[in-house]
Amino acid sequence: MSFKLSDRVSNLKPSASIAAKKRVTELQAAGRQIIDFTIGEPDLDTPDFIIDAAIKAMREGDTHYTATQGTPALRDAICNKLKRENGIDVQPENIVVGCGAKQLIFEAFAATLDEGDEVIVPAPYWVSYPDIVKVNGGTPVIVECGADVDFKLKPHALSAALTPNMRWLILNSPNNPTGAVYSAKELAALLDVLRLHPQVCLIMDDIYEHLVYDGASHASPLQIDPAFAERSLLINGVSKAYAMTGWRVGYAAGPKPLVAAIGKLLGQNTTCASSISQAGATAALEGDQAPVREMTALYEQRRNRMIELLEDVPGFDVSVPSGAFYLFPSVAELIGRRTPQGQVLHTDLDVAAYLLEAANVAVMDGSSYGLSPYLRLSFATSTDRIEEGCRRIRKATEALA
């Protein structure tokens, strides 16, 4: 017997970042000593007080289904967090918890998109945005935002992309892969455009919110104009800031009808996020935030070291990210160069493949994020590995003809 896969799934591309990690794991299992700069997760451990809270919850029998939208304790903690850190007033009925921020973005589009509906996706973008739109029947409208505009969507570009079929704009700040951070002034200018198009709603992906450097600060559109609460969905989670990627807890804040619709979809697939993980997430949001500040300071040191090592590597043009934990250097000067084996590097995919083969360094190609020729390198790894990986990259690029 053979199965016929749906066109929806057959046309869906695998996640490029997950595929890259799988390849690295396979090579490491085969004995290759790979320096992995692909992974978009902290290499640090979850703070002990969060682990202790989860263990305590298990010991006390908190191992059952929860309310689909999340436990009352966690939703209260999210409301308090949004008020305390972002100046945003929401009620628990405006909150929904999912198995990671990715699930909630997926369900938001599942709840709101019909065939022919469009979503503006500024490029560079997180690899999953366009495919999540497509699998839910929508059409991603890619708006290229290059280095000349600091990798950010500008009001004139937003205006030019809007159509009567447009339903959403999705923004990610700090951005994966560039580390670009939208200022309050820049967000206000985009909101001015959206006011003229009331059919367009805004998803703000804030998952890297706390990872900002050099005095940069995170801004929320609802701080700028609380009236946008009726047409905005704020996405966040505990994965990046608290080193809790494996706990799989994300949350969203939005209008009650949208939150209820997302909850309806969750009720038909995952039922709820893990009760144990939710207990840990509650402790994370309510507890001492010093570990977040300490981790952020460490990432900033690692960022500075990776920039220092790569800024004069032949063919690398490195910009300084204001947030997240990635560098996104241009490798335009490497295109057309020839490897010692005679292969011409035609694309950033070729450059990434060459570094993996010649240097045992795994990086992500910019094309997976919608902009070429660039590479994405994660500095969420130890300084020793950053130094060794950059040494290998330099050696490999110096060998090009």
Q: What is the pLDDT of residue 2?
A: 73
Average model confidence (pLDDT) for the chain?
Answer: 95
- What is the amino acid identity at position 279? A
247 and 368 co-located in one domain: no
Percent of the chain predicted with pLDDT > 70:
100
Residues 280 and 208 in one domain: yes
Q: Is residue 1 pLDDT above 60, yes or no?
A: no
Please indicate, yes or no, whether residues 40 and 162 belong to a single structural domain of this protein.
no
Residue 21's pLDDT band (boundaries 50, 70, 90)? confident
Q: Look at residue 2 and tell me if it is in a domain.
A: no
> Mean pLDDT over residues 77-103, rounded?
97
* Residue at 58 is within a domain: no
Tell me which of 14-28, 129-143, 244-258 is least confident.
14-28
Higher pLDDT, 110 or 40: 110
Q: Are residues 235 and 106 in the same domain?
A: yes
Bigger pLDDT: 163 vs 20: 163
- Looking at the structure, do residues 97 and 33 belong to the same domain, yes or no? no
Whether residues 256 and 295 share a domain: the answer is no
Q: Are residue 297 and residue 377 in the same domain, yes or no?
A: yes
Same domain, 246 and 310: no
For residue 51, being part of any structural domain is answered with: no
52: in domain:
no
The pLDDT value recorded for residue 269 is 94
Check whether residue 207 and residue 235 sit in a common domain. Answer: yes
The residue among 265, 287, 309 that closes a domain is 287
**Do residues 82 and 41 both lie within one domain?**
no
Of the pLDDT bands very low, low, confident and very high (cuts 50, 70, 90), residue 158 is very high
Q: For residue 108, what pLDDT band results from cuts at 50, 70 and 90? A: very high
Q: What is the pLDDT of residue 170?
A: 98
Same domain, 259 and 341: no
* Domain-terminating residue out of 287, 306, 335: 287
Residue 27: which pLDDT band, with cuts at 50, 70 and 90?
confident
Q: Which of 221, 253, 287 is the last residue of a domain?
A: 287
Q: What is the pLDDT, as a whole number, of residue 24?
A: 79
Give the domain extent around 181. 64-287
pLDDT tens by residue, 308-358: 999 999 999 999 999 999 999 999 999 999 999 999 999 999 999 999 999
Residues 30 and 156 in one domain: no
Number of domains in the chain: 2
- Residue 347 sits in a domain whose CATH number is 3.90.1150.10
Residue 9's pLDDT band, with cuts at 50, 70 and 90, is: confident
Q: Is residue 53 part of a domain?
A: no
Mean pLDDT value of segment 239-265? 97
**59 part of a folded domain:** no
